[in-house]
Structure 1
Amino acid sequence: MSVTTIHRPLAPAPTETVPSAVDAVTEATDPAEQPVDVLDVDALLTWAAEQPVATIRRLGERTAEGLARLAEHHDRAVAVDVATTRLIEAQLMLARAEAQLRAAKAGTPAPAAEAPGVPQADPGPARRREAGRRARAWAVRNGVDCPDRGLVPKHVLAAYRRAHPEDVDAR
């Protein structure tokens, strides 16, 4: 089993004085500057297995089983993320190749990578929300009917995209 460590803030030692509430307010506390205790999980589980108290031994066993299951779930999630990324990249490459094939059959120049009809990578929910806010603000400035809240209507997004083709997040 590999060595697993957990970082946690140190509690003040019994001989140290604990700062008062006034000191805490006046001093800026940066979590990065606080001392950190490194907990060796494997050593802790070994300690638990060697204890004469059955409750502690069982707690150590359940913790080890839980950590093993958690590691399995983590590995599975990483594998799914990698496979999903590869699938999206392959789908994008296929869409570009199909667009090039259509252009070749029609005798027109091959489309650029950002050609309409060729799917692009999803910019992510935060960037989509921000693009929606920009489209909504643009609609208000230009007198396009758009609700104040909720989803931005498709006709508003389409008009915004036509007016701002450089905004790649508004797809």
Structure 2
Amino acid sequence: MTIAALHRLLDEIDTQGGPEAARQGRLRLTDDTQEGPEPMAQPVPQLSSIPDLPLKARPTNEPQPLPVGQLLKWGDEHPDPEVQDQAARARAALGGLRKRYATDQELTAITTEAEQLEKRLAELRTREAELVPAKPKKTRKPVGYPAAEVRAWAAANGVDCPPVGRVPKKVVEAWRASLPQAG
């Protein structure tokens, strides 16, 4: 029975009164493969006649599930082309699942390794910061001339000098040359 047929059967049971109607034997179910509304060849078992089984126990007359590989082999060798087609589709779906599973496993491993590496790198950077001596602040060397006085002299004598920043060396040398020499 296909899943679609099972869904139709369950829908039909619901329309005829549900499980209670099945317990009381009031269901009139038809076989979808036949023409017309004839009753199914096998009667629907009464739910009260089915013994209560533990969830994991299987009735002895029910076939044991096959491993996937054996089931696919059976489907490939089956004389019905529809069963062979189902086996081929299942094989393709399993191949896709295997590929996706392998990809997900690899991505998980990469992510885990990347997180471990980032953690280790943070530890190393912290340790490096502890070991590296602090860089001293850069202090300007004091200049050997009064900058404001040199700028005023340059402005009074028509020498080009920027109003801010270091005074150019040639301006300082000209200023020093203009000073009276100490005797």
TM exceeds 0.5?
Answer: no
Bigger proportion of residues as strand: 1
Q: TM-score, normalised by structure 1?
A: 0.43
Q: TM-score, normalised by structure 2?
A: 0.40
Larger Rg: 2
